[in-house]
Amino acid sequence: MADLSKEPFNLIVAGVGGQGNVLLSAFIGMALVREGFTASVSDTFGVSQRGGSVTSHIRISRGVACSSLVLEGQADVILGMEPVETLRALGEFGNRAVITIVNPRPMQPTGGVSYPDLDEVRQAIIKLSARTMFVNATEEALEMGDPIYTNVILLGALAGADVLPVGREAMVEVLKARFPGALYDVNLSAFKKGEELIRDAAGIFS
Amino acid sequence: MSGTKRGSRNLLEDVLKAGLCTGCGACVTGCPYMAIHEGRIVVLDRCTIEDGDCWRHCPRTPTDVSGFSEKTQGVPFDFLEPGAIIAVEMVRSVDAAVREKGQDGGVVTALLAFALDEGMIDSVVCSKKDAGGAPHGFVARTARELLECAGSSYEAAFTLEAFRKIPAGNADRLAVVGVGCQMEALAKMKAAAPVNGGNPQNVQLTVGLFCGWALRSDIFRPLLEEICDTSRIVKFDIPHSPGTSFDVYTKDAGKISIPLDDIRPAINPACQYCWDMTAEFADISAGSAGSSFHGWNTVITRTPRGAGLMKRAVAAGIIEIQPLPESRMTKLKASALNRKKNALRNLARKSGTREDLGYISGLPAGLVDALLKD
Amino acid sequence: MASVIAADNPGAAVLLMGNEAVARGAIEAGIGVASAYPGSPTSEILPAIADVSGERDIYVEWSTNEKVALEVAAASSFAGIRSLAVMKQNGLNVALDFLVNLNMTGIGEGGMVVFVSDDPGAMTSGNEQDSRMAAKWFDNPLLEPENAHEAKEMVAWAFEFSESVNLPVIVRGVTRLCYTRGNVVLGDLPAGMRKKARFSDVWDMYNPTKSKFTATPSPVAHRLLHEKFEKAREILENAPFNRYSGPDNPELLIIATGVSAAYSAEAVDVLHLKERVGLLKMGALWPLPKKTILQWLSRTKNVLFVEEMDAFMEGSVMELWAGAGLHDGGIRFHGKCSGHFPPCNEQGADLVIKALTDILKIEHQLIDADYKREAAEYMRLVPNRPINMCAGCPHRATYWAIKNAIALDGRNGFVCGDIGCYAMGFGPPGFFQARTMHAMGSGTGVANGFGHLGRFGFDQPVIALSGDSTFYHAALPALVNAVYNRSNFTLLILDNGATAMTGFQPHPGTGVLATGEPAPVVDMEALCRATGAEVMVCDPFNLTETTQAILTMMKKNAGVRVIIMRHLCQLVKVKRKIAPRYSMRVEPEKCIGESCGCDRLCTRVFGCPGLMWDSRAGKAMIDEAICVGCGLCADVCPAGAIRKEEVH
């Protein structure tokens, strides 16, 4: 488990409204508090909550609570639930040292707005990150039968990447507290799937 | 100019808002952004296509009338004549019931029913009035359905919208009945088939209707509602004599005559720019103008295909024919030419110059000046 | 899972959202009654209390509007039971008429807290406002917490404060406070029997002045209010929520309220200014603790105010300074007056850093300029993600029908919109149909007015929209007014079975209480019929029928016509595990995509998020991760390429 290399340590979770990033961020926050850290978890919305971009700011410290929002260019880790949103977050919070974990499945904007070339977006993410790991979370979730598992798969990937000061035990405890019975089992297997995927994801260094 | 590429935005600005829409119905064929409602073309949403069928098929976007005439009629175009002519005759249906339901001689209904019967065509694109409502495009597949569509509507009928009711890939051979502007639109549709909609290439026969003007249903219908129960209307007529009354036949009240002047406000202003009284792009054109007697139609047979049908119909005893007196022929030609002069004059007035005749292109140089000199 | 909100585990640190912390504070204070009308960013407070209402013996209700909520809470206070009323900024406006009078009469023996949240940046609202002004306007005690933990502490403390000054206390939040999760250290839960509720001040015929809860004679009541206010000020001078950190004689004093205090602390930290700059973090704002403030003003020559929205402290402190005759000292004030902060939108530490570097003339480079330049170039790839309604949302169907009906009608009809998810109708999700949008119920109210303009030549048909919850909240009086005064419009009530925008709270039409228990249904249709309006009910997913219904109602052009558009919110369907009705697919060979005759009608205009455009193939696709199988796009597709199959 990584210790708090920096105070505050800043994690950005970037996604689209409805992807479940708010819940994912809350899970991370709960795990952090469980481990004795001071956490602040705050979401910012783009144009809207529904179908718009949603960015969660997770700030980790010991002792005094931080303010809610990560300053420009100050993310340590970016967890991108969607490629374009990951790139958007890199533009605002990225820096030469940032580690990026990305779910490469695009979510198309609506209202006639077209999606950029996916390869270009991938390349840009790699260029703007010190290290990038792609995790096919949505594909795996669909294979499990419901896209709803995407966020827990990504939680597993985040735990497996060993970039946060909080490890898998605390996160699994949070899942256990949150999901009753059979739901816990399926979410745990989603979590494990994420851990597996990140193990296989060769980090791409820019 | 017929190569101009434009889309629905231009159609909205340059045709609909410019008061040029004739109500032919071509633009809505296969288009989800436009609809017809109570006698109006309605734009439902913004389309971004810049090379659209709506513009391409509209009879009031630039049209090479000479080129299209040659293409559809197979003979060189003479703007001074009422189109290609093989014969001009007085014709009527032998069946009195058809005459009663149809207009004057009931020839159009009789001919098309015969064409359906003998298997020349499978269905007829025409217009139909539902009880109390404005006419709309309709695909008649039987003689019985056809008879329900008989009789002049006097209203712009958006006939060609019926193509949207023909499923893609349908191979039915079609006849189309319509007025001049609709024949122009159909010629354009045949020249470049719509992307989404029935296939005008399957049209085997076109029957044109003489047209002086058409009424706008959105203005005409409220006028009608003031004088009768529109759901009980059977037929309209403008009798030759005295020529100043508009007769509405209803199931309950019989004939109600309205002074023609009372319904003039409902005449589509776009009709003043129309050059084509006799539907020159059709195989056969029919109407009452020129006929000597009540109960007969004047019929212009224009193409060999039309002539063949006429011949077979006579032989089968469906229609009967008598020659059109010379004086009537002269009068018919004069009115057709007069219509063209008026259209050119009105178009020149609209644009402010004889150089710009709006949608009409392809006229021989000097012709316009010659026609408008008086 | 047992609710962490009611965990009897004093001293434990848990992660709570600001709203949950407010709920916990009220529970720790032993409230007996909580009432609210849903409104983001406060919507989670009441459900958090409702979750434990049984075990903690608390009466909770979703009231039909905020004024009623405040009245319900006040009665509890009158009878000696502590109560909490919750509302967003717009709700406070609705409740103000009662609050103004409640201040005059004073409360009962039960403390009363009104939690109001503003929404800087209008992230979940149609407007921005600074509700703190109401405290100054109507003489209300006012507190403002910095973070979730302080929110819990402050709400609990506010009940005692309220009881000691006999006034309702406003605790003001902002969206960032309400929706940020942070560590909260739990306190003790109340133990023992709750006291009996009793309206003790029975009117005494020998001493009529004891009729306590009427503010007459008003001048006397008003004077009494100001006397209470001076007592309140004394208490706030020593409140635990105003803290100073920094040097004894700071070069610059920051006075910051609420969440702005945290932004300020971070800015001071980032710029390493702890030796030069002092931070007076204020949580107890009104009545202004004059002594505390003057004491710190006297030790500096530079003051920077950091607060979101209006210059509430800034103006009040400058007034105080001017009135205290301390001009000799010569203080320079900075804040909104100096242009360092805007009077609108959310602020963050970055703005404080900018203000400090400017005022103190220091250099600071937060970000790597090279990286920023490189990143900026890639941002050309990042498209906007426009606002949208959910896949399967019935409002999309309703707006599609409205759009077509208005176009077909051809008289330039328009829509008076209202507050709720369907407010998105001003943009692409509603095909730009909603043309006015103001307060709850205003669609119907404004339509009332349009409906009388025929005498001045006005000939456009008017459609008013109201959500189901909005209908009970404020549209009903407007409907009654419309029928009574013979207005002329069509009201569409978008009945999706929940207060969807704010999180699917029940309302009087749903048959469910805040606690989830069954409730009598206040029949919307019967209510509308009782007004005398012509009423019909449609399922907006029957597009053709719905369009025709709207068209027919528009054409009537006299009187008030109501169409109830009834279809369950898609998210509620998901919550209730209602399976998708159709399985959807696109037949690519039939899809004509960008060609004439389609022009991407489904993805460009209709715009359901469950549809994707495959630009390489030039075909539409169903996104199975998002599509909910409502089937509507199959009815819209002009080429018959989108197919729906009933799922059995």
pLDDT of C3-34, one tens digit each? 788 899 999 999 999 999 999 999 999 999 99
Quote the minimal CA–CA distance from A97 to chain C in Å.
11
* pLDDT (0 to 100) of residue C203: 60
The verdict on C241 touching A (C-beta cutoff 8 Å) is no
pLDDT of C124-172, one tens digit each? 888 999 999 999 999 999 999 999 999 999 999 999 999 999 999 999 9
Q: How many CB atoms are closer than 10 A to CB C458?
A: 12
Boundaries of every domain in chain C:
10-237, 243-359, 394-575, 582-646
Residue in this structure with the two tokens 């809350």, named with its chain if needed: A26
Q: Are residues B237 and B158 in the same domain?
A: no
Buried b (16+ CB within 10 A) or exposed e, C126-147: bebbbbbebbbebbbbbbbbbb
How would you classify residue B87: left for phi > 0, otherwise alpha for psi between -120 and 50, otherwise beta? Answer: beta
Boundaries of every domain in chain A:
9-205
pLDDT of A67-93, one tens digit each? 999 999 999 999 999 999 999 999 999
Report DSSP state, residue A71.
P
Task: Please name which of C427, C428, C414 lies closest in space to residue C492, comparing C-alpha atoms.
Answer: C414
What DSSP assignment string belongs to C349-371? Answer: HHHHHHHHHHHTT-----S-HHH
Collect all residues of chain B within an 8 Å Cβ-Cβ radius of residue C404: 35, 44
The pair of structure tokens assigned to B246 is 């508009």
Give, in order, the Cα–Cα distances in Å from A132 to each of A5, A78, A123, A126, B287. Answer: 19, 10, 10, 6, 78
> Residue B62 falls within a domain, yes or no?
yes
CB C105 within 8 A of CB C99: no
Determine the 3-state secondary structure of C557 from DSSP.
coil
CB C115 within 8 A of CB C150: no
Mean pLDDT to the nearest integer, B246-267: 90
The pair of structure tokens assigned to C276 is 């030069």
Collect all residues of chain B within an 8 Å Cβ-Cβ radius of residue C410: 37-38, 40, 42, 218
Q: If you count them, how many residues does chain A have?
A: 206
Q: Are residues B199 and B90 in the same domain?
A: yes
Q: How many CB atoms are closer than 10 A to CB B255?
A: 13
Collect all residues of chain C within an 8 Å Cβ-Cβ radius of residue A138: 625
Show which of B238, B266, B294 is a domain's final residue: B266
Residues C648, C642: Cα–Cα separation, whole Å: 19
Collect all residues of chain C within an 8 Å Cβ-Cβ radius of residue A141: 625
CB C305 within 8 A of CB C270: no
> Residue B148 falls within a domain, yes or no?
yes
Q: Are residues B95 and B183 in the same domain?
A: yes
Mean pLDDT to the nearest integer, C35-61: 95
- Chain-chain contact of C379 with A87 (C-beta, under 8 angstroms): yes
Lowest mean pLDDT among A100-104, B32-36, C190-194: C190-194
* pLDDT (0 to 100) of residue B293: 67
Assigned CATH for C582-646:
3.30.70.20
Distance between start and end Cα atoms, chain A:
24
Q: Are residues B133 and B250 in the same domain?
A: no
Lowest mean pLDDT among B181-185, B197-201, B257-261, C48-52: B197-201
pLDDT of B143-175, one tens digit each? 999 988 887 778 888 999 999 888 878 889 999
Contact partners of B by the rule of 3+ C-beta pairs under 8 A?
Answer: C
Residue in this structure with the two tokens 């959310």, named with its chain if needed: C346
Mean pLDDT to the nearest integer, C268-288: 97
Q: Are residues B301 and B228 in the same domain?
A: no
Give chain A's count of helices (H) and strands (E). Answer: 7, 7
CB C283 within 8 A of CB C307: no
Determine the 3-state secondary structure of C430 from DSSP.
helix
- Chain-chain contact of C605 with A112 (C-beta, under 8 angstroms): yes
- Which residues are B174's β-sheet partners? B123, B203
- Which residues are B178's β-sheet partners? B208
* pLDDT (0 to 100) of residue A48: 44
Q: Which pairing describes strands C462-467 and C534-538: parallel, antiparallel, or unpaired?
A: unpaired
> Residue B1 falls within a domain, yes or no?
no
CB C85 within 8 A of CB C75: no
Residues C236, C287: Cα–Cα separation, whole Å: 8
- Chain-chain contact of C625 with A142 (C-beta, under 8 angstroms): yes
Q: What is the topology classification, in CATH, of domain C394-575? A: Rossmann fold (3.40.50)
CB C163 within 8 A of CB C130: no
- Chain-chain contact of A113 with C180 (C-beta, under 8 angstroms): no
* pLDDT (0 to 100) of residue C366: 77
Residue in this structure with the two tokens 């209510």, named with its chain if needed: C527
Does C206 or C256 have the greater pLDDT score? C256
* pLDDT (0 to 100) of residue B39: 82
- CATH topology match: C243-359 vs C394-575: yes
Residue C205's pLDDT band (cuts 50, 70, 90): low
pLDDT of C87-100, one tens digit each? 999 999 999 999 99
Q: How many CB atoms are closer than 10 A to CB B222?
A: 12
Q: What is the topology classification, in CATH, of domain A9-205? A: Pyruvate-ferredoxin Oxidoreductase; domain 3 (3.40.920)
Q: Are residues B250 and B301 in the same domain?
A: no
- Chain-chain contact of B48 with C601 (C-beta, under 8 angstroms): no
Q: What are the residue ranges of helices labelled H in chain B?
A: 8-10, 53-57, 65-73, 96-101, 107-118, 143-148, 180-191, 217-227, 260-263, 304-315, 326-351, 367-372
Q: Is the pLDDT of residue C504 over 90?
A: no
Collect all residues of chain C within an 8 Å Cβ-Cβ radius of residue B38: 408, 410
Q: Are residues B331 and B360 in the same domain?
A: yes
Q: Looking at the partner chain, which of C368, C378, C427 has a beta carbon nearest the beta carbon of A124?
A: C378
Q: How many CB atoms are closer than 10 A to CB B365?
A: 6
Mean pLDDT to the nearest integer, C529-549: 98
Q: What are the residue ranges of helices labelled H in C344-424?
A: 349-359, 369-378, 394-409
Closest-CA residue in chain C for A32? C15
Residues C182, C115: Cα–Cα separation, whole Å: 19
Question: Is-cis flag, bond preceding B32, omega within 30?
Answer: no
Q: Is the pLDDT of residue B1 over 50?
A: no
Residues A32, A22: Cα–Cα separation, whole Å: 15
> Residue B340 falls within a domain, yes or no?
yes
Residues B212, B234: Cα–Cα separation, whole Å: 21
Q: Which pairing describes strands A38-45 and A53-61: parallel, antiparallel, or unpaired?
A: antiparallel
The pair of structure tokens assigned to B112 is 């098309």
Residues C159, C111: Cα–Cα separation, whole Å: 5
The verdict on C382 touching A (C-beta cutoff 8 Å) is yes
A–C interface: beta-carbon pairs under 8 A:
197
pLDDT of B78-101, one tens digit each? 888 999 999 999 999 999 888 887
Does B132 or B238 have the greater pLDDT score? B238
CB C40 within 8 A of CB C125: yes
CB C504 within 8 A of CB C510: no
* pLDDT (0 to 100) of residue B66: 82
Mean pLDDT to the nearest integer, C325-350: 89
Q: Are residues B189 and B255 in the same domain?
A: no
Q: Looking at the partner chain, which of C403, C597, C639 has a beta carbon nearest the beta carbon of B44?
A: C403
Element (H, E) at C152: helix C148-165
Residue A1's pLDDT band (cuts 50, 70, 90): very low
Mutate to test the interface with B, among C554, C591, C596 (most CBs of B within 10 A): C596
- Which residues are C505's β-sheet partners? C499
Buried b (16+ CB within 10 A) or exposed e, C339-373: ebbeeeebbbbbbbbebbbebeeeeeebeeeebbe
Residues C210, A16: Cα–Cα separation, whole Å: 59
Q: Looking at the partner chain, which of C366, C376, C605 has a beta carbon nearest the beta carbon of A91?
A: C376
Q: Give percent of chain C above pLDDT 90.
A: 85
Mutate to test the interface with A, among C150, C385, C426 (most CBs of A within 10 A): C385
> Residue B2 falls within a domain, yes or no?
no
Q: Is the pLDDT of residue C329 over 80?
A: no
The pair of structure tokens assigned to A129 is 């990150």
Spell out which chain B residues touch chain C, with contact meaning CB-CB distance below 8 angstroms: 30-33, 35, 37-38, 40, 42-49, 51-54, 168, 194-197, 218
Q: Are residues B209 and B279 in the same domain?
A: yes
CB B97 within 8 A of CB B310: no
CB C584 within 8 A of CB C632: no
The pair of structure tokens assigned to A55 is 């960015």
Residues C421, A50: Cα–Cα separation, whole Å: 9
Closest-CA residue in chain B for C606? B45
Task: Please name which of C389, C628, C605 lies closest in space to residue A51, comparing C-alpha atoms.
Answer: C389
* pLDDT (0 to 100) of residue C204: 64
Q: Looking at the partner chain, which of A39, A73, A108 has a beta carbon nearest the beta carbon of C372?
A: A73
- Which residues are A58's β-sheet partners? A11, A41
Determine the 3-state secondary structure of C60 from DSSP.
strand
Q: Are residues B343 and B251 in the same domain?
A: no
ipTM: 0.94
Quote the minimal CA–CA distance from C600 to chain B in Å.
9
Residues C239, C230: Cα–Cα separation, whole Å: 14
Residue B2's pLDDT band (cuts 50, 70, 90): very low
Q: Is the pLDDT of residue A114 over 50?
A: yes
Quote the minimal CA–CA distance from C231 to chain A in Å.
33
Assigned CATH for C243-359:
3.40.50.920
Does C100 or B254 have the greater pLDDT score? C100
- Which residues are A61's β-sheet partners? A38
Number of domains chain B is built from: 2
Collect all residues of chain A within an 8 Å Cβ-Cβ radius of residue C605: 112
> Residue B339 falls within a domain, yes or no?
yes
- Chain-chain contact of A84 with C428 (C-beta, under 8 angstroms): no
- Chain-chain contact of B33 with C599 (C-beta, under 8 angstroms): yes
Structural domain range at position B236: 217-266
Which runs of E-coded beta strand occur in A94-178? 99-102, 131-134
Determine the 3-state secondary structure of B262 from DSSP.
helix
* pLDDT (0 to 100) of residue A49: 45
- Chain-chain contact of A51 with C266 (C-beta, under 8 angstroms): no
Residues B20, B63: Cα–Cα separation, whole Å: 13
Assigned CATH for C10-237:
3.40.50.970
Q: Which pairing describes strands C611-614 and C619-622: parallel, antiparallel, or unpaired?
A: antiparallel
- Chain-chain contact of C388 with A90 (C-beta, under 8 angstroms): no
Residues C66, C85: Cα–Cα separation, whole Å: 8
Task: Please name which of C27, C320, C17 lies closest in space to residue C190, comparing C-alpha atoms.
Answer: C27
* pLDDT (0 to 100) of residue B3: 52
Q: Are residues B261 and B294 in the same domain?
A: no
Residue C201's pLDDT band (cuts 50, 70, 90): low
Q: Are residues B242 and B289 in the same domain?
A: no
* pLDDT (0 to 100) of residue C2: 58
Collect all residues of chain A within an 8 Å Cβ-Cβ radius of residue C612: 108
Q: Is the pLDDT of residue B327 over 60?
A: yes
